[in-house]
A and B are shown apart, each in its own frame.
Chain A
Amino acid sequence: MLIRYLSQIGKYFLMWKEIFNKPTKWSVMKGLIFKEIDDLIIGSLGIAAFISFFVGGVVAIQTALNLTSPLIPKYLIGYATRQSIILEFAPTFISIIMAGKMGSFITSSIGTMRVTEQIDALEVMGVNSLNYLVFPKIIALLLYPFLIGISMFLGIFGGFCASVYGGFGSSANFIDGLQQDFIPFHITYAFIKTFIFAILLATIPSFHGYYMKGGALEVGKASTVAFVWTSVTIILLNYILTQLLLT
C-alpha cells in the first residue's frame, strides 16, 4: 500500500518533468491557454462569487450573534469577517470547492480523452500529450489568484451587506473593523497559498485523468479520487504553509 502511494507520488513528479519537455508550437499553445482560461477561470467566477458573497454574510451574522457582551465592540464583526475571509475562506475553502468544480472537469476531460484513445492519437502524431494537455492548464491557473481576489472582495462585501442591512451594526463600525490591526503580510500569505493551490488544482486532477485506465466508470472514479487527493493535499499544505509563514 505504502509502496503504491510512493510510486504514485514519484510518477506525479516525473509527470512534471514531461510537462516541460518538448513544448507545443506557440501558435497552437496560445489558443489552448485562452481556452483553458475561459473554461477554468472565467467559468468559475460565477460560483466563486455566489459562494463568497453568502458565506461572507453568514460569517458576519454568526459573529454578530455571538457578540452578546456590550463590552465587546461592534467593529469586531468587520474585523472577524476580514480575517476569516482573507486568511482561510477565500484561499483555502474556495480552493477545495474548486477542486470539485475545476478538478472533476480536468480529470474527466483528460480521462475521456484517454478512454477514447485521443491521447494515444496525440502521442502517435509525435505530440507531447502532457505538454499539450497540462501546460495550458498550469498557465491558465496562474490567473487563479485573480479569482481568489474577487472572492475576498465579495466575501467581505457580503459580510458588510449582512451586517449593515441585517441591522447588526453600522457601516462605519464594519469599515472600522476592516481597518483594525490590519497586517499587510496576511494578504501576501493568502496569495502565496493561492498560488501553490493553483498549481495543485491544475496538476493533481490532470495526473489522475492522464494515467487512468479502463472505461467510462473509471473516469468517474478517477474524478472522485482526484477530488479527494487534491483536497487532502490542499489541507495538508495549508497547515504546513500557515506554520511556516505565520509563526
Chain B
Amino acid sequence: MIEVKNIEKSFGDSKVLKGVSTIFETGKTNLIIGQSGSGKTVLLKSLLGIHTPDSGTISFDGRIYSELTPDEKRELRTEIGMVFQGSALFDSMTVSENVAFPLRMFTHNSKSEIQDRVDFVLKRVNLVDAHHKLPSEISGGMQKRVAIARAIVNNPKYLFCDEPNSGLDPNSAILIDNLIEEITQEYNITTVINTHDMNSVMEIGEKIIFLKNGLKAWEGTREEIFRTDNEAIVEFVYSSNLFKKVREAYLKE
C-alpha cells in the first residue's frame, strides 16, 4: 500500500500539485487520470522519487520516503518496477539483456538462474521469440511488453506505469491493460497507472483518482464512475458520445 498525504509541488511560480492525499491499494490497479497539465505525471514522478515534493509525505507500506536514508531509498527502489511511456528500453541491449538488467545489477544469481528467470517472464508477457532482438527491431506493443517484463523480473512490490498503452493500436492496448491487471493480481502488487485512456479506466480501473488543476477532484471505482454526479469527472469522462451512451446503457441496467 502506498499512502500519499497532502503533497504539494511547485515549479517556479507554477503550483502543480496543491495538496493531494490518497491511498493506492495493494493487489489493485490504481489509476490516476486527468487532463494534460492536471499534475498526474508530477504525482507519479513524486511517487517514484524523481521529483521531491515541497511538502507532504509518501509512505510505502509504512516507510515514509522522505525519512529514509539514501541506502534505504535505494533498497526501496529495487522493490519498484516502472513501465515508462516510451518503454525506455536500453537501445544497445537485446530484449533478453534488457529484461536481465535488474537481476544483473541487484542479485548474485548465476547466469543460468538469470536466464531461467528472463525466459519465464518473457513467456509470461507472451514474448518467446524476441530474446536476441534489439528494441529497434520490435514493434511498439512488443516494446511495452518487454518493458513490463523488465519491470516485474525482480518481483517488485510496487509497479508504476506511465501511459502504458499510449501509441498502441486498440488490440495491443487491451492486451497490455489486461496483462498489467493479471500481473497485479497474480503477484499481489501495488500498481499505479497514469493514463487518460478511458478504455483503460473502464477495463482495469479498480481504483481511480481524478486530478484537476493539481487537486484530487474525485476518487472511486470504475462502477462508481458510471453513477457519480461529480461535475468535473462527468465532464472529463463523458466528453465522448460513445462513453455517454455506455453510461446511459449501464444506468438503464
Contact = CB atoms under 8 A, between A and B. Distances in A.
Nearest to B79: A126
Given A116-B88, A117-B88, A120-B84, A126 B106 contact: yes
Nearest to A132: B105
Contacts, number: 55
A22 B74 contact: yes
A24 B106 CA distance: 10
Q: Tell me if A's interface is mostly helix, strand, loop or mixed.
A: helix
A121 B88 CA distance: 7
Interface in B19-34: none
B189 to A, nearest CB: 15
Interface in A1-60: 22, 24-25, 27-28
Interface string B122-141: 00000000000000000000
A141 to B, nearest CB: 19
Given A24-B105, A117-B88, A118-B91, A123 B78 contact: no
Contacts of A24: 105
B105 A127 contact: yes
Contact of A124 (B80, B89, B104): B80
A183 interface: no
A116 B50 contact: no
B229 to A, nearest CB: 38
A125 interface: yes
Given A116-B88, A118-B88, A124 B50 contact: yes
B91 A123 contact: no
B105 A125 contact: yes
For A22, A24, A125, which residue has the most chain B Cβ atoms within 10 angstroms? Answer: A125
A78 to B, nearest CB: 46
A118 to B, nearest CB: 5
A114 to B, nearest CB: 11
Interface in A48-82: none
B102 interface: yes
Contacts of A116: 86, 88, 91
A24 B84 CA distance: 23
Contact of A117 (B76, B78, B86): B86
A120 B80 CA distance: 13
B64 to A, nearest CB: 18
B105 A120 contact: no
Interface in A99-128: 112, 116-118, 120-121, 123-127
Given A116-B88, A117-B86, A118-B91, A124 B78 contact: no
* 7 nearest A-B pairs in the assembled complex, by CB-CB distance: A126-B77, A117-B88, A121-B88, A126-B74, A124-B82, A117-B84, A126-B78
